[in-house]
Structure 1
Amino acid sequence: MINMDNIYLITDIPGFTPQIGRLISMMNYARHTTIEATKDLSVDQLDYLLDSESNSIGALLLHFAAVEYAYQVETFEGRHLSEEELAVWRPALNLGEEGRDKIKGNDLNFYLDKMNEVRQRTYELFQGVNDDWLYKQEEFWYNKQANYYFMWYHVFEDEINHRGQIRMIRKRF
């Protein structure tokens, strides 16, 4: 779904309503730059920790998939993650000590496959809604109202934020 010929265009995407296409354009660019920032990393590099409190690049990559999956469940299914889903995604959602303990030993393809699997489902889900859906409001952080547009903006904004960490970690190998 990432069209490299149009990676720098925030534009319509066939099969999606205009605003959803633009949102996906931004998500695709963020993902493209994440992939570029992690190219050719070894398992040891993906597991590298700056210190006892930091997250590894591998954990951050799995975090991207976990956050996106959680927002799929919240916005498209109108529910929180189940205990079964949390058993799978909690270490990547929470990061920290649990992430350091449980997310390691995987090659780059493992993380990219998880991220792609979740993203493919996002594309499928977005095909079933229109631009009006983006403006649906719910209570969000700190008892404030947010719409789905903001929530999905946060999915890739979180990735961009953590990608900065990835670039910093790479410089410290």
Structure 2
Amino acid sequence: MINMNNIYLITDIPGYTPQVSRLLSMMNYARYVTLEMTKNLTVQQLDFLLDAKSNSIGALLSHCAAVEYAYQVETFEKRDLNEEEMLIWGAAINLGDEGREKIKGNAIDYYVNTLNEIRNRTFELFKTVDDEWLYQEEEFWYKKQANHYFMWFHVMEDEINHRGQISLIKKRTLG
């Protein structure tokens, strides 16, 4: 749902309230940069590990999708991922040994399609809420109060953080 004509505008998006639009605009730009950074990577580059404890670019892309899905479930359905969902997303959420073992051998299209599928669902879910919803507070990490705005900011911030790792790995694998 990235509108390339408006990628540099933090603005209203038809069908969404003003603050929701701005959040989605920022998330779109963050995703655009992630996709541009990884668009021509080979399977070998996506699977490259800096060392025995690092994550691959493919695993980090999967992690971005998994985090976004987990926040969809947490903020819109008010629950944690269930056992079936953890079978799908667990390695991508946990990364580490599990991620290194299970997330490999996929072409960039696999990761892009997964990211797009999850993002499309995010856009559909955000059509059901308004700006007031963004400011609703609930208990979050370590029993602290957080609002939905912060939670979804964190989804974007997490992707940007991992994109820094992707940049480092890409520089090491491409020379």
| One-letter code aligned to 1:172 | R
* Equivalent residue, structure 1, for 2:136: 136
Q: Which residue of 2 aligns with 1:20?
A: 20
| In 1: Cα distance, 2:80 partner to 2:143 partner | 16
Taking the TM superposition and a 5 Å limit, the aligned residue runs for 1:46-85 are 46-85=46-85
Partner of residue 172, structure 1: 172
Quote the Cα distance in structure 2 between the aligned partners of 1:136 and 1:83.
28
Distance 2:85 2:26 in 1: 27
TM-score by length of 2: 0.98
> Which residues of structure 2 form unaligned runs of 5+?
none
Distance in 2 (CA, whole Å) between partners of 1:106 and 1:37 is 17
Cα RMSD over matched residues?
Answer: 0.5
Letter in 1 for 2:86: L
- Partner Cα distance (1:121, 1:142) in 2: 28
Amino acid at match of 1:15: G
TM superposition outliers: structure 1 runs of 4+ over 3 Å: none
Partner of 2:92: 92
Q: Distance in 2 between matches of 1:119 and 1:75?
A: 15
1:8 maps to which residue?
A: 8
Which amino acid letter does the alignment assign opposite residue 101 of structure 2?
D
Deviation per CA, 1:73-132, whole angstroms, max 9, x where unpaired? 000001110010011101000101100000000000000001000000000000011110
Partner of 1:41 in structure 2?
41
Distance 1:70 1:20 in 2: 19
Q: Which residue is equivalent to 1:114?
A: 114
Q: Secondary structure at the match of 1:146?
A: strand
Give the Cα–Cα distance (whole angstroms) in 2 for the partners of residues 93 and 156 of structure 1: 15
| TM-score normalised by L of structure 1 | 0.99
Residue-by-residue CA offset, 1:16-44 (whole Å, 9 max, x unaligned): 00000000000000000000110210000
Aligned pair count reads: 173
Once the two structures are aligned, what percentage of the paired residues are identical?
69
2: CA distance, partners of 1:39 / 1:114: 14
Structure 2 CA distance, aligned partners of 1:133 and 1:109?
A: 34
**2:138 aligns to what SS in structure 1?**
strand
C-alpha distance in structure 1 between counterparts of 2:59 and 2:115, whole Å: 12
Q: Amino acid of the residue matched to residue 104 of structure 2?
A: K
Tell me the amino acid that sits aligned with residue 154 of structure 1.
H
